[in-house]
Amino acid sequence: MARLAMLIDLSRCLGCQACVIACKAGRELAPGERWVEIREVVWGRFPELQGAFVPHRCFHCAEAACVQVCPTGALYKRDGFTLVDFGRCSGCGYCVEVCPYQVPRLVDGRVSKCASCLDLVQRGEEPWCVRTCPAGALQCGTREEILAEAQARVAALKDRYPEAQIYGETQMGGLGVIMVLPAPPETLGLPAQPQIPPLAIWKGGVQPLSLGALALSALTSGIAFFIARRRHLEEKRNSQNHGE
Amino acid sequence: MAKQTVRWVLRYRPGQRVVHWLHAGAFFVLLITGLALIWPPLSFLAAGGLSRLLHRVAAVIFLLTPVLYALLDFRGLRDLVRDSFTYTREDLEWLKGFPGYFLGRTSHLPPQGRINAGQKIHHALTIISYFTISGSGLVLWLGKGSLGPIGLLAATLVHDVSMAVMAILTVGHIYFTFVYDALPAMTTGYVSEEYARMEHAMWLASIPQEPPYVIEVQEEFWSLAGLPASGRKKRQ
């Protein structure tokens, strides 16, 4: 399947929380678990206040730090989304530590985050949050379609919101959630340039090196054992003959 | 059936053996459940958090074995720490001859005391790794949620490197045990006098030549302790 993406248009979000509930009910989440949160952000100086509803949910980074650190492969990428194989999660919580958006949680010793509705999309249906949104703030489609739609919406918003912009086109290798922002990301509490923590040297370097060194030492010892054993027995015999 | 007298030398007291096997058992549980996190073929162990529980139970045992050692046999612990960090000129000579020792020869080496230079380095690195792996492990265990990415990275790096050091030391440990028939030291507590003479001549000379330090056993072809290969040759 092509690389998919979601559109979240903050200029249309009413903060009604319908997506939160639809997701929770549709995905049959456990008590205490929610994959979508809506946070109200207010800025400006009274009485000149402005506000927006900012989603706090997995943005499905293309270069996902959580996938890089997951030791068991429970987190993985498919079709532009970051999926979760919950049966493989060990609950180590590394993803919680490294996510630049602080999205994953541990619930009952297991990761809890949006695992996408890829199953529904593959059947030609829409994700629970998208189908329930009464404001047309959410969409799901191929990433090209979503980006084009986002650009069109930003262009249409420029009169009302001069600082309107797209978020997610380039961040973290390109997010699987493209957002239409009415204001700069920093204003809305989103990092303009989120960084992958410097994990490459650990996962990509130290761990394979450790395993390699261990395997090499075992192999060397295994081969040397036969030589050493023979020579040791020989020396033992010699020392006995010598002693007698 | 022909019998022969074999002299055995007490090397490890019961408390030392108990501590050794408890520590070894905990270590292997920790190693396997830890490898489940970095070696994909073992990752099924980590699914559902089974390996995490085992890792923590074993970690507590692993952490407490030095305390147990102090309680059961304080002299043994004190000697271990002292000998591991005391090096002499003979140790340097011994280390120069290490390649030959690695390949099964001892005759070219200077006589050694209770533990040889290789064992000293092995013990010293084990003691140091004990602290680095325990410290980083406790940070990962108790500090989860407040480490941040950099803290997590640092703790995991220390933990991984310590693991690699300990695992490679263990490979060497097992290797030399079986090359030089040293296993009885940690099972019955006794090594053959032949082993003691070849590997630890100064130590052998320093201990009282009487029971329970040195015992004589009438051995037949098979014995629980494992008859030295030399016995088999003589019988033929």
Same domain, A191 and A236: no
Regarding predicted confidence, which is higher, A137 or B46?
Answer: A137
Closest Cα of chain A to B43: distance in Å? 5
Name the residue facing A214 among B145, B150, B164 (closest C-beta).
Answer: B164
Same domain, A10 and A74: yes
Same domain, A140 and A229: no
The conformation of residue A174, written as its DSSP 8-state character, comes to: S
Nearest-Cα residue of chain A relative to residue B197 = A239
Name the residue facing B46 among A72, A206, A221 (closest C-beta).
Answer: A72
Same domain, A148 and A227: no
Bridging pattern class, strands B190-192 and A105-107: unpaired
A217/B145 touch (CB, cutoff 8 Å), yes or no: no
Interior/surface letters A210-241, b for 16+ CB within 10 angstroms, e for the rest: bbeebeebbeebeeebeebbebbbeebeebee
Same domain, A133 and A227: no
Contacts with B51 from chain A: Cβ below 8 Å: 90
Looking at chain A from residue 59 to 118, which residues have their Cβ under 8 Å from any Cβ of chain B?
A: 65, 71-74, 87-94, 96-98, 109-110
- Would you state the pLDDT for residue A201? 63
End-of-domain residue from the set A195, A210, A225: A195
- B230 closest CA partner among A216, A130, A232, A176: A232
Nearest-Cα residue of chain B relative to residue A226 = B179
Condensed to tens digits (0 to 9), the pLDDT of residues B143-160 reads: 877 887 788 888 888 999
Same domain, A120 and A184: yes
Name the residue facing B164 among A87, A213, A229 (closest C-beta).
Answer: A213
Residue corresponding to tokens 């996962």: A203
Regarding predicted confidence, which is higher, B196 or A185?
Answer: A185
> Is residue A89 annotated as involved in ligand binding?
yes
Same domain, A190 and A228: no
- Would you state the pLDDT for residue A77? 96
Q: Does A209 touch chain B (CB under 8 A)?
A: yes
Same domain, A190 and A208: no
The Cα–Cα gap between B166 and B127 comes to 10
- List the domain range (segments joined by +) for residue A106: 4-195
Condensed to tens digits (0 to 9), the pLDDT of residues A19-71 reads: 999 999 999 999 989 999 999 999 999 999 999 999 999 999 999 999 988 88
Closest Cα of chain A to B175: distance in Å? 6
Same domain, A216 and A176: no
Say yes or no to pLDDT of A135 above 60: yes
Count of structural domains within chain A: 2
Task: Give mean pLDDT, residues B79-85.
Answer: 92
Q: What is the CATH number of the domain that holds A14?
A: 3.30.70.20
Same domain, A48 and A134: yes
> Is residue A140 annotated as involved in ligand binding?
no
Say yes or no to pLDDT of A148 above 50: yes
Q: What is the CA radius of gyration of chain B?
A: 21
- Test mutation, A210, A220, A235, A237, chain B, max B CBs within 10 A: A210
Same domain, A99 and A155: yes
- Would you state the pLDDT for residue B2? 66
- A47 upstream amide cis, omega within 30 of 0: yes
ipTM of the complex as predicted: 0.78
A97/B147 touch (CB, cutoff 8 Å), yes or no: yes
- The mean predicted confidence, pLDDT, of chain B is 86
Closest Cα of chain A to B75: distance in Å? 32
The Cα–Cα gap between A173 and B62 comes to 42
The conformation of residue A60, written as its DSSP 8-state character, comes to: -
Name the residue facing B157 among A206, A213, A234 (closest C-beta).
Answer: A206
Same domain, A108 and A138: yes
